[in-house]
Chain A
Amino acid sequence: MSELLRRMLFLPEEGSTLASRVDGIHFFIILTTFVVGAAIGLTGFVFLLRFRRRHAHALTPEVLAPVWMEALFVSVPLLFFLLWGALGYRDYVWSRSAPPDALDVYVTGKQWMWKFAYPEGPGAVDVLHVPAGRPVRLLITSRDVIHSFYVPAFRLKMDAIPGRYTETWFEAVRPGRYPVLCAEYCGLDHSHMRAEVVALSPAEFEVWRTQQGGDQVASGAGVAEPLVEQGRVVATRAGCFQCHTVDGTPHIGPTWRGLYLREEPLDTGGTIRADVAYLTESMMEPQAKVVAGYAPVMPSFQGRLSAGDVASLVEFIQSLRPERPVPPTVQEPRYELRGR
């Protein structure tokens, strides 16, 4: 029955323990809605036929609803609404209180990618490995603007807010791959900010975790931001260094050193602040705003760079500040919600 409804309503598979709860209340509401809707529609239709106009100046009797009827129409829907509210709230509280034995994962949103980090060290970009059948607590934050971590198959969504953590949890019921989307509008590549949850069986997960132990990504002070490194690789691969330098000397294109947040004069007059949006736009539509003094020769990288590439390139450019380098912004401390 519920499987049939799920398919009729185009819902994705129920990949988590939360999903079946959310779907339960969904089905309850939608069935009630259709029953009541059909009843109202039918009543209206009958009235429409039975009391259709026979002549223009007809007088009609004054009919007033008795008080008990008004009371009925107030109380019955109210009862249903409050019931739904209460049932939903029960599940909501459940979905916001992670069980104590949950595996912690730090999730960081950034234009336009997701970064995952496990407490013991390994991290990953855009792929989250979790064991199936075990609760996983997500501690979510953002590096720049608000994002929202959304796994349709888990019916799970939580915003990533810069400067603080939000918390949610899930338990994947079976191994599989589940897409992750960003549900809060976050700029140019919002629709490409995608990732994946890979649920592994517990044994497979252990194997994976041991493998990861070798090459820790985030392992103490002094290590360059992995994204910055990735950005340098992307820049080399895409041939950016043929025109742009990183040491401050102008070349065919403006140097990247200190470019980030610099006010650049445009050849059309006016200036532009080289923020993330402008940098991204310049990769995709280079001729739109050309910095004064440079020839409009840059090709468009539309379609040649993935959202992740763009993110890492921007991160790389950001890292090339002339003055003191901004220290790595995200410093993930121990975060204890329990027993506050």
Chain B
Amino acid sequence: MSFEVAEPAMPREHYLNARRGAWSWLTTHDHKRIGVMFLVALLCTFLLGGMFALALRLELLTPGETVMGRLAYNRAFTLHGVIMVWLFLIPSIPTTFGNFLLPLMIGARDVAFPRLNLASFYLFVVGAVMTVWAILEGGVDTGWTFYTPYSTATGTDVLPVLMGVFVVGFSTILSGLNFITTVHTMRAPGMGWMRLPLFVWAIYGTSIIQVLATPVLGMVLLLVALERVVGVGLFDPARGGDPLLYQHLFWFYSHPAVYIMILPGMGVISEAVSAFCRKNPISYRVLVWSTVGIAFVGFLTWGHHMFVSGQSVLGAGTFSILSMLVAIFTALKIFTWTSTMYRGSIWMCTPFTYVLGFIFLLFFGGMSGVAVAVTSADLHWHDTYFVVAHFHFIMVGASLMAFLAGLHYWFPKMFGRCYPEGLGVGTAVLIIFGFITTFLPQFLLGNMGMPRRYADYPEHFQPLHVASTAGASLLGFGFLIIAAYLGWSLRHGRVAGRNPWGSRGYEWHSDSPPPEANFHEPPVFPYRPHDYSRPDLQPEVGHAA
């Protein structure tokens, strides 16, 4: 990134230095600081989950035992799944960027319930520590799905993990509650629903899912825990229960949970596409309604995880058709983002590289999702590496790319400094390439018939596993580079100034980093969000060339 001659200066006082000392952080009610604390916590869990992912890939490099036995492998993939799903992906974007930006974007001083926000953070920490401790100490081997009757029969220490996830669920609910209330009641006067920035819409939709789906998971986990402690037998066939009911209730949460992971990512991408194409989204309306549509229809499709589980034929058909409806919203978003580039002024910088990666990977992830929701095709693919590849395309390929896009887009906003742009683009390309090398072979493995959660496999699967492991090491290397240059930039990066991207997102109307009260004086949002058609009504402070 090259800059104009006049170097922008760091604002003298901002939220990072307004109060000092660890105690001021630990007791803060400031949504920005809570967002940053979440970011730190989530990076820790991501590191842990990622290390175990690499260990898994290493084990799968060769058939037979490579670095760990079967028991260790089973525990490792459980740990990887539980951490990545509940301790990273579900809270990832809403609790970090959502917390940080939502009030800024709607012109509020804070979220509606600041103390609740802090409570949500501590609940998350407590739950995360419980979960990680339990898995490392007791070694749970059920997989993140806790399917009964295996989870009630296994000798490993399932109970503390269930409780840990339960507590994390509370944190999720409280965050969602807070965001919904904030969006409803704290919008700046005059900011109608159809004038909300798209990221706000995405967080709003996500929060609805969080609030309505998470309690069901909580109750199911509680029942599994009761089953282990007193043997209530609700899901145990030996006592007349039905394991499929467990799957119904579990997926009623866990399928929408997929949209908890991806919807905020879509919000980030909608913001970034506009900012870096300098262009209004070609249809704001479509992006909004598809967000709402995903949040709603996402609840109707959970049964497509159960096509071969012995669910009834009518049930399978119903869920299959309903699943087709939810795919349409994602398709619409992809079309909209792509055509938003039309007649724009496209800046190929780091966040936009991730955006392109996101759209590409989401397309293939989404289409493979449609494919496995086709009942007959699922007969072959269910529980194979095809499914593994599919959801990693969505969760890593899309959600994580969006997280990285957001991190690079809002890094100057959060910390007031820029990172080395060339290194950023290079790493982005490396990560996308590493990702494809990791997960494309897994589609083919699934086609060959390699089931998931296998510690050992017949030899003819090996070449593709080698390719996948090679890709995973590239991916891991890419993350290390990002950690290195972002860490370096925190102190030594160039000062960004208020609006280094020349973006017209509402969040750039305050200083970067923002003052503790978000705005020095009430800001004026003179145009629709994402409107680049008019000359500035307020001086645009872009410092990048």
A188 with B74, Cβ < 8 A, contacts A88-B376, A89-B376 known: yes
Instruction: Decide: B320 and A278 in contact? CB cutoff 8 A.
Output: no
A1 in the interface (beta carbon within 8 A): no
State in angstroms the CA–CA spacing of A266 and B452 once bound together: 34
How many Å from the CB of A83 to the closest CB on chain B?
9
Chain A neighbourhood of B316, CB < 8 A: 89, 92
**Residue in contact with B154 in the complex, picked from A48, A86, A277, CB distance below 8 Å:** A277
**What 0/1 pattern do residues 449 to 463 of B give for CB contact below 8 A with A?**
101111111100000
How many Å from the CB of A155 to the closest CB on chain B?
4
B535 in the interface (beta carbon within 8 A): yes
Instruction: Decide: B449 and A51 in contact? CB cutoff 8 A.
Output: no
A211 in the interface (beta carbon within 8 A): no
State in angstroms the CA–CA spacing of A192 and B65 once bound together: 12
Chain A neighbourhood of B457, CB < 8 A: 191
Chain B neighbourhood of A36, CB < 8 A: 367
Chain B neighbourhood of A70, CB < 8 A: 283, 285-286
Instruction: Decide: A25 and B377 in contact? CB cutoff 8 A.
Output: yes
Instruction: Decide: A51 and B341 in contact? CB cutoff 8 A.
Output: yes
Instruction: Decide: B343 and A60 in contact? CB cutoff 8 A.
Output: yes
**What 0/1 pattern do residues 432 to 471 of B give for CB contact below 8 A with A?**
0000000000001101110111111110000010000000
Instruction: Decide: B379 and A22 in contact? CB cutoff 8 A.
Output: yes
**Residue in contact with A148 in the complex, picked from B367, B383, B535, CB distance below 8 Å:** B383
Chain A neighbourhood of B325, CB < 8 A: 78, 81
Chain A residues 76 to 99 lying within 8 A of chain B, measured CB to CB, are: 77-78, 81-82, 84-93, 95-96
Instruction: Decide: A95 and B379 in contact? CB cutoff 8 A.
Output: yes
A51 with B342, Cβ < 8 A, contacts A29-B367, A161-B309 known: yes
Chain A residues 37 to 71 lying within 8 A of chain B, measured CB to CB, are: 37, 40-41, 43-44, 47-48, 51-65, 70
B373 in the interface (beta carbon within 8 A): yes
**Residue in contact with A40 in the complex, picked from B338, B379, B452, CB distance below 8 Å:** B338
Chain B neighbourhood of A60, CB < 8 A: 277-280, 343-345, 532-533
State in angstroms the CA–CA spacing of A33 and B369 once bound together: 11
Chain A neighbourhood of B243, CB < 8 A: 146, 161-162
How many Å from the CB of A194 to the closest CB on chain B?
8
How many Å from the CB of A9 to the closest CB on chain B?
5
B502 in the interface (beta carbon within 8 A): yes
Instruction: Decide: A156 and B310 in contact? CB cutoff 8 A.
Output: no
B384 in the interface (beta carbon within 8 A): yes
Chain B residues 377 to 391 lying within 8 A of chain A, measured CB to CB, are: 377-380, 382-384
How many Å from the CB of B211 to the closest CB on chain A?
28
How many Å from the CB of A229 to the closest CB on chain B?
25
| Nearest opposing residue in chain B for A30, CB measure | B371
Chain A neighbourhood of B332, CB < 8 A: 73-74, 77
| Nearest opposing residue in chain B for A279, CB measure | B155
A313 in the interface (beta carbon within 8 A): no
A176 in the interface (beta carbon within 8 A): no
State in angstroms the CA–CA spacing of A162 and B237 once bound together: 6
Instruction: Decide: A59 and B532 in contact? CB cutoff 8 A.
Output: yes
State in angstroms the CA–CA spacing of A187 and B448 once bound together: 23
Chain B neighbourhood of A77, CB < 8 A: 327-328, 331-332
**Residue in contact with B375 in the complex, picked from A10, A11, A44, A88, CB distance below 8 Å:** A88
State in angstroms the CA–CA spacing of A192 and B451 once bound together: 11
How many Å from the CB of A95 to the closest CB on chain B?
6
| Nearest opposing residue in chain A for B145, CB measure | A185
**Residue in contact with A161 in the complex, picked from B244, B320, B323, B534, CB distance below 8 Å:** B244
Chain A neighbourhood of B343, CB < 8 A: 51, 60-61, 63
**What 0/1 pattern do residues 503 to 539 of B give for CB contact below 8 A with A?**
0000000000000000000000000000111110000
How many Å from the CB of B538 to the closest CB on chain A?
13
Instruction: Decide: B374 and A88 in contact? CB cutoff 8 A.
Output: yes
B55 in the interface (beta carbon within 8 A): no
Chain A neighbourhood of B71, CB < 8 A: 188, 281, 284-285
A145 with B308, Cβ < 8 A, contacts A37-B367, A92-B317 known: no
Instruction: Decide: B345 and A58 in contact? CB cutoff 8 A.
Output: yes
B153 in the interface (beta carbon within 8 A): yes
Instruction: Decide: B370 and A29 in contact? CB cutoff 8 A.
Output: yes
State in angstroms the CA–CA spacing of A277 and B74 once bound together: 12
**Residue in contact with B147 in the complex, picked from A9, A40, A185, A284, CB distance below 8 Å:** A185
A37 with B363, Cβ < 8 A, contacts A59-B532, A62-B533, A161-B244 known: yes
Chain B neighbourhood of A179, CB < 8 A: 458
State in angstroms the CA–CA spacing of A30 and B394 once bound together: 17
A21 with B376, Cβ < 8 A, contacts A78-B328, A82-B324, A148-B383 known: yes
**What 0/1 pattern do residues 396 to 413 of B give for CB contact below 8 A with A?**
000000000000000000
A65 with B313, Cβ < 8 A, contacts A25-B376, A156-B379, A190-B455 known: no
B339 in the interface (beta carbon within 8 A): yes
| 19 pairs from A and B in contact (CB 8 Å cutoff) | A29-B371, A44-B356, A48-B356, A53-B345, A53-B348, A73-B335, A78-B328, A81-B328, A85-B375, A88-B320, A89-B316, A144-B153, A146-B150, A163-B238, A184-B383, A188-B71, A191-B453, A277-B155, A284-B70
- Other than the given A65-B282, A155-B379, 12 more pairs (CB < 8 A) read A9-B444, A26-B371, A51-B341, A51-B344, A59-B532, A64-B282, A73-B332, A81-B324, A158-B310, A164-B237, A187-B74, A192-B456
Which residues of A are in contact with B by a Cβ distance under 8 Å?
9-12, 18, 21-22, 25-26, 29-30, 33, 36-37, 40-41, 43-44, 47-48, 51-65, 70, 73-74, 77-78, 81-82, 84-93, 95-96, 144-146, 148, 150, 152-153, 155-159, 161-164, 166, 179, 181-192, 272-273, 275-278, 281, 284-285, 302
Across the A-B interface, the 9 shortest Cβ-Cβ residue pairs = A152-B449, A163-B237, A88-B374, A92-B375, A91-B376, A191-B454, A47-B341, A62-B533, A81-B324
